[in-house]
Amino acid sequence: MNWELAIGVLSVVLLAYFMFGVSGFGSSLIAVPLLSGFLPLRSAVMLALVLDLISAVGLARKEAAHVRWDEIRPLLPFALFGIVVGAAMLSRVPSRPLFLVLGTLVTLVGIRYLLLHPGKSAISRRWSALAGVSGGTASALFGTGGPAYMSYLAHRLHHRAQLRATFSALLALDGGLRVIVFMVGGLFFSSLGPIQLLIALPAMMLGLYLGHRTHAVLSNRHIKLLTAMLLLASGLSLLWRAL
């Protein structure tokens, strides 16, 4: 890896996990689109997978007492099915249409995050099928299953600590399932470079530290606006590349 590539990867990871530290959301939605400007899409997805898995496991362990396992269990079978489907597509579909789909997804999430608010009424658990399949497929293809999972959980859990802890535990389990599926499919080690990971880990930890510090001084409105703007910029840059 040359210095230009190393600095690009380090900068993207630092920015993505700074935003995760600030908002608790969206690390892969920022990291994967921007990393794909420096790395092949598969490598960007695998790198974001490992980083998200490490950060999600750490957060879930700290907040284990608040995890609602009864809300996670219905999602897992559908998430696993979606991961298998997404992994099969990742190994067969050319990059350009994937960039177009990912760019559209990230742009729409940015618009939704900017304009809409979670509903206050609980939705039926039957929606776990759609949330699990769509979240699993998006996470395997792009490392961006978080919006589907969060949209479902935010309409089931209204206690802030439970929502944060349950979402982190679900991401950790989703990441573990993806690692297994990618290993079985032969995609994991062929797409993840150890030098990329060694560069990215310190950047991730520094980004999380700085993000947590910044979170304390920003209002919720500023956090929401900053996150939405970064998501929109990431999505639009991918759409530009796909056209």
Does the pLDDT of residue 79 top 90, yes or no?
Answer: yes
Average pLDDT over residues 83-93: 86
Cβ–Cβ < 8 Å for 157, 166: yes
Residue-level pLDDT at 193: 76
Does the pLDDT of residue 47 top 80, yes or no?
Answer: yes
Cβ–Cβ < 8 Å for 223, 129: no
Which of 138, 80, 81, 83 has its CA nearest to residue 105? 138
Per residue in 179-229, pLDDT tens?
Answer: 899 888 887 777 777 888 888 999 999 998 898 788 777 776 777 777 777
Average pLDDT over residues 97-102: 80
Per residue in 4-21, pLDDT tens?
Answer: 788 888 999 998 888 877
- In percent, the amount of the chain with pLDDT more than 70 equals 93
Residue-level pLDDT at 77: 95
Average pLDDT over residues 105-134: 78
Rounded (10°) angle between helices 146-154 and 27-35: 170
Q: Where residue 84 falls among pLDDT bands split at 50, 70, 90?
A: very high
Residue-level pLDDT at 116: 65
Q: Where residue 118 falls among pLDDT bands split at 50, 70, 90?
A: low
User: Position of tokens 């060694």?
Assistant: 198
Q: Where residue 1 falls among pLDDT bands split at 50, 70, 90?
A: low
Q: Where residue 60 falls among pLDDT bands split at 50, 70, 90?
A: confident
Q: Where residue 69 falls among pLDDT bands split at 50, 70, 90?
A: very high
Does the pLDDT of residue 72 top 90, yes or no?
Answer: yes
Sign of the alpha-carbon torsion through 174, 24, 33, 50: negative
Burial of 176: CB neighbours in 10 Å, binned 0-12, 13-18, 19+: middle
Look up residue 155 and give its DSSP letter. T
Residue-level pLDDT at 83: 94
Q: Where residue 120 falls among pLDDT bands split at 50, 70, 90?
A: low
Confidence (pTM): 0.77
Residue-level pLDDT at 119: 54
Mean pLDDT in the chain? 82
Does the pLDDT of residue 24 top 70, yes or no?
Answer: no
Give CA–CA dist 2/201, Å, rounded: 18
Q: Which amino acid is at 193?
A: G
